[in-house]
Structure 1
Amino acid sequence: MAHFVDSEVGRLGTVMLHRPGPELARLTPRNNDSLLFDGIPWVGRAQEEHDAFAAALTERGVEVLYLGQLLADTLAVAQARDELIAGVLRDRRLGDSLRARVAGYLADQDDTRLAGVLMSGLAHEEMKPGPGGLVYRMMDPLDFVIDPLPNLLFTRDSSVWVRDQVAVTSLAMPARSRETTLTQAIYRYHPRFAGTALLFSPDLEHVEGGDVLLLAPGVLAVGVGERTTPAGAERLARRVFAAGLAHTILAVPIAQERATMHLDTVCTMVDVDAVVMYPNIANSLQAWTVTVSPDGEPDVTALRPFLTAAAEAMGIDRLRIIDTGLDPVTAEREQWDDGNNTLAIAPRVCVAYERNVETNAQLERAGIEVIAISGSELGSGRGGPRCMSCPIERTPLKSTDTR
C-alpha cells in the first residue's frame, strides 16, 4: 500500500480521521479548560458534522481511515496491546493498588472495548466494585482513573507524513501526551503500515503536526511557539535532512500572543503557489531558513520575511496570498473560527467551515473551489478541517492533475 505525501495540495488519496465519540461526552465545565476545549460540545451534532466532513471527502474519491478502527485492529497484535496497556499503567497518579486493578480491568477487555477505553478514558465510578487502596478512596467521584482524549479529533497533530516516512510527534500539552502512544502503535503494528519508517517519536523534543506545512516537494515550514519548540524544530530538521526528505526547512516564529496556536491556524495552502493567511500577520510573519551544510549540520541563515523565504525555497517568483480583504473585526472573528485552517484536497480545491462567509467568498473570487462544511460543534476545540485530518497519501505534486 503506497503512503506518500510531498505537498499540502497534491490530490488527496487517503486520510486518517477520528470520529468524535464518548471522549467528548467526558467534557464538563470543571475539566474542559484543562482538556483544551473552549466549551462543552453537543456530541451528537459534532458527530453529524464530522460524518458530513467525511462524506464530502469520500464524494471526491478520498479514502477515509478512522483512527478508532485502526487502533482496534492494532490491539489484535499482542505486543501492541501489551505496550499500550503498559503506557497507561505508567501514570504516577495510580499507586500500586489501583494500578493492579486497572491492569486487570484492561486485560479483560476485548480489542474494540479496549480501544474505546484508551480513547475515552475510564471514570472513577466505572470501576465497580470499587478497588481498595488509598488512591482510589481519596479520588473525587468525578475524577478519571484514565483520562479521556477529546483532542484525538485533531489527527493532524499526532503524526505528519513527509514523503514515504511518518513523524509521530511529541505533543506539548499534558492533556494530549498520551495521544501519540496510540498513533505510534498504529504505525508500528497495524498490517497496513508494515515497513513504514518512523521519522520522529514522542520521546523527542516537542513538535506538533499542526505546525508543519509541506510547502512544496523538499520544502517544509515549521511553526515555532509554545507547541513546537526551537529544539523540536531543530531535531525534526536533522532527521529530515539525514533521511534526504527535504532540502530546506523554514522555522517560523509565532508571535507570543498567538503562541498557543499552530502555524496552520494562521496559514494554509490552497494551490501550488498560494496560501490563505490571516491578514493581520501576512506582512509580519518571518522565518529562519535552515539547510544542510557540507558537514551535515543544519545551516541557519538570517531571519527574513516568511513570504520571501518561502518563495525562494520553493523556486517560484512569489507565494500568492489570498487577500481576504476583511475589516479588522471580521478578520478577527473568522480567524477565531478557523477561517484560515483549510484542507486542500487538490490544487485550487479546499474544504472550509461554511460560517467563514467572507473568507470563503474571497477564496472563490481567487479561483479556489470551496467545499463548505458545518462546524459549529466541531470547532469548540479550536480546530478546522486541516486540524481534523492527517493525509496519508497524496498524488506527488509534479504529476498532479490540477482539477
Structure 2
Amino acid sequence: MESHGVDSEVGRLKTVMLHRPGPELKRLTPRNNDRLLFDGIPWVSRAQDEHDAFAAALRDRGVEVLYLTELLVEALDSDIARNLAITTALSGLHLGDTLRAYLAGALHDASPAELASYLTAGIRNDEVGGGHGLVTSLLAHDDFLIDPLPNLLFTRDSSVWIRDRVAITSLAMPARARETQLTELIYTEHPRFRDVPEGTRKIHGWHFEHVEGGDVLLMAPGVIAVGVGERTTPAGVERLARQVFHAGLAHTVLAVPIAQERATMHLDTVCTMVDTDKIVMYPNVADSLRAYAVTVGEVGESPADLQLDVASAEPFLVAAAKAMHIDTLHQIDTGLDPVTAEREQWDDGNNTLAIAPRVAVAYERNDETNARLEAAGIEVVRIAGSELGSGRGGPRCMSCPVSREPLN
C-alpha cells in the first residue's frame, strides 16, 4: 500500500501528480483566453513536449509521476463518482432543463475515458447535434455548454497534502471552480486513495472559503505560510488554520498578505523554498512582505471552538524563521537588478519545485536567477517552458506533491 504525505517543501520528492496538456488547451481562442486565465494561446504540441521533458526529469530523479487524467478515468469507474461529476458539470444556470436532461443522458452513456474528456475539454453547442430545445437553438454554435479546464495543468492549486491529510481547496475564479471538484472525486473514489487504511482523511473542501494551493507553502514541519491576495481570502486562511490546528498538523500558520495582481496571484509566484533554510524570493517585494503568525490559544472540541491568537505583523523572513526555530531564513534574490528581477519573476523565476534539499526544478530561461541559485549551493534542474508558461505558472504550479520523505 502506497504511503502518502508531505511535511515540507523540500523533503525528497517521492510521488507527484501532474496533468499533461491535452485537448482542453486547443479550446483556447483570442476571444476566451482571458476569461480562461491564459495570457496567450499556447502551441499545444510544444507544450506537451515541454511537459513530457518535465515529467522525464522528475522520473530521472526517482520520482513516481501520476497523471490527473489517468486517475480521473479510473475513478469514473465508480457510479458514485460518475453521478457526482455529471451533476456538478451540469449545474450551471445557462443550460435549461431540456438541454440539461439531454446532456445528462449522453454523459451517463459515455465510457469513463469519454466522460473524462468531456469534463476536461468541455462540450461546445455545435457538438451536441442540435434539436435539443430553446437554449441550444439560441446559443451561438461555438458557445461552450460545459467549459474546458485549461488550468488543470496547474495541479498545485486544487489540492495540497499537509502531512497525512489532503486539503481539497476552493478555487476563486469561476473558470477553475470545477477543477477542485474533479480532484476531490479522485481522492474520494480512486482505489489508490480510497483504499488507504482508514481512508484518506480530507480537510477543507471546494464549498468552503477560497484557498488555493499556490498560496500554501509548507515552510517546515508544523509551519505553514498562506498567501492572502487575489485568490485566497482572509476567511479561507482562518478556516484552513482552524482545521490544521484541530487535526494537529501544524503549530503555526503565517498569514502573508500579497498584492492582488496578476503577477503575484499566489504566494509561490513571490517565493519558494529550495532548502530547509533557503528561499528564492522576488526582491522587489522582499522588504515589504509581512506575516501574521497565527497560533492556538485555547483548544476546543471542534475547529470552530478553537481560540486563535494572531500576532502583530512582522517582516515575513523574520516571522518565518521564528516559527521554524532557525536563526535565519536565507533569501536568494530573483535576478540581479530590479528590471531583471521583474522580468524573471514574471517568467516564474521564483516558482521552483524542490525535489530534494538543495535540488530544484526551474525554467531554463531565467538565467540570472538560476545562476544565483547555483551560487548559493542549489542544484538547478533546468526545463523548457516557453509554452507551458503562457498560463502564468512554473514547475511548482504544475505539480502536486503526494508524497515526500519527512524531514523529521
Q: Do both proteins adopt the same fold according to a TM-score greater than 0.5, normalized to the shorter chain?
A: yes
Partner of 2:219: 215
**CA spacing shift, 1:186–1:330, aligned 2, 3 Å:** same
Post-superposition shift, 1:294?
Answer: 2.3
- Which amino acid counterpart does residue 315 of structure 2 have in structure 1? P
Equivalent-residue separation in structure 1 for 2:32 and 2:66 (angstroms): 29
Tell me which amino acid in the other structure corresponds to 1:201.
G
Query: What is the aligned partner in structure 1 of residue 137 from structure 2?
Result: 137
Please give the residue correspondences for 1:56-205 in structure 2 after superposition, counting only pairs within 5 Å: 56-128=57-129, 130-194=130-194, 195-205=199-209
**Aligned amino acid, residue 53 of structure 2:** A
Shift of 1:362: 0.5
Structure 2: tracts of 5 or more residues without a match: 300-305
Output the CA distance in 1 between the equivalents of 2:132 and 2:82: 26
Letter in 2 for 1:14: T
Contact 2:359 2:379 in 1 (8 A): yes
Q: Quick one: which amino acid aligns to residue 141 of structure 1?
A: H
In structure 2, the partner of 1:294 is 298
Question: 1:302 corresponds to which letter in structure 2?
Answer: S
What residue in structure 1 maps to residue 265 of structure 2? 261
Correspondences of 1:231-310 after superposition (within 5 Å)? 231-257=235-261, 261-295=265-299, 296-310=306-320
Instruction: Find the aligned partners of 1:75 and 1:3 in 2 and give their Cα distance.
Output: 22
Is 1:362 equivalent to 2:362 in the alignment?
Answer: no
Aligned to 2:32: 31
Amino acid across the alignment from 1:396? P
Query: Percent same amino acid among aligned pairs?
Result: 70
Q: Tell me the alpha carbon deviations over residues 58-97 of structure 1, each in whole angstroms, 9 at most, x when there is no partner.
A: 0000000000000000000111111111111211110001
> CA shift at 1:132, angstroms?
2.6
- Structure 1 gaps of 5+ residues are 399-403
Q: Structure 1 residues 328 and 10, CA, compared in 2 at 3 Å: closer, same or farther?
A: same
The residue that corresponds to 2:302 in the other structure is none
Q: How do residues 376-395 of structure 1 correspond to structure 2 at under 5 angstroms?
A: 376-395=386-405
Shift of 1:231: 0.1
Letter in 1 for 2:253: I
User: Higher mean Cα deviation, 247-256 or 205-214?
Assistant: 247-256
Structure 2: how far apart are the matches of 1:144 and 1:105? 16
Task: State how far apart, in whole Å, the 2-side matches of 1:11 and 1:177 are.
Answer: 31
The 10-residue stretch of structure 1 (291-300 or 25-34) with the greater mean CA deviation from structure 2: 291-300
Between the aligned partners of 2:261 and 2:56, the Cα distance in structure 1 is 36
TM-score by length of 2: 0.96
Q: Is the contact made by 1:270 and 1:348 (CA closer than 8 Å) also made in structure 2? A: yes
Counterpart code for 2:245:
F
Q: How many Å separate the matches in 2 of 1:257 and 1:121?
A: 28
Question: What do the CA deviations read for 1:83-115 (whole angstroms, capped 9, x no partner)?
Answer: 111111211110001101111111111001111
**Residue 332 (structure 2) aligned to one of 318, 322, 337:** 322
Separation in 2, partners of 1:311, 1:102? 53
Paired position in structure 2 for 1:401: none
Q: CA deviation at 1:258?
A: 5.8
Question: Which stretch of structure 1 is more off in the superposition, 91-100 or 387-396?
Answer: 91-100
CA contact (8 A) 2:298 2:308 kept: no
The number of residue pairs the alignment matches comes to 397
3-state SS of the aligned residue for 1:397? coil
Q: Secondary structure at the match of 2:31?
A: coil
Secondary structure of 2:35 counterpart? coil
* Counterpart position of 2:8: 7
Question: Does 2:47 align with 1:46?
Answer: yes
RMSD of aligned residue pairs (Cα, Å): 1.0
Q: Is the Cα–Cα contact under 8 Å of residues 101 and 131 in structure 1 kept in the other structure?
A: no
Change (3 A) 1:89 1:256: closer
In structure 2, relative to structure 1, the CA distance for the partners of 1:259 and 1:240 (3 Å cut) is farther
The alpha-carbon distance between structure 1 residues 285 and 260, as it changes in their structure 2 partners (threshold 3 A), is: closer
**In the alignment, is residue 225 of structure 1 matched against residue 254 of structure 2?**
no
Q: CA deviation at 1:257?
A: 4.3
Which residue identity lines up with residue 240 of structure 2 in the other structure?
Answer: L
For 1:395 and 1:2, how far apart are their aligned partners in 2? 10
Aligned-pair CA distance for 1:255: 2.3
Which whole-Å deviations, capped at 9, do the CAs of 1:178-203 have from their partners, x for residues lacking one? 10110000000111002100011000
Quick one: distance in 2 between partners of 1:397 and 1:255?
Answer: 31
Q: Is the 8 A contact 2:171 2:212 kept in 1?
A: yes
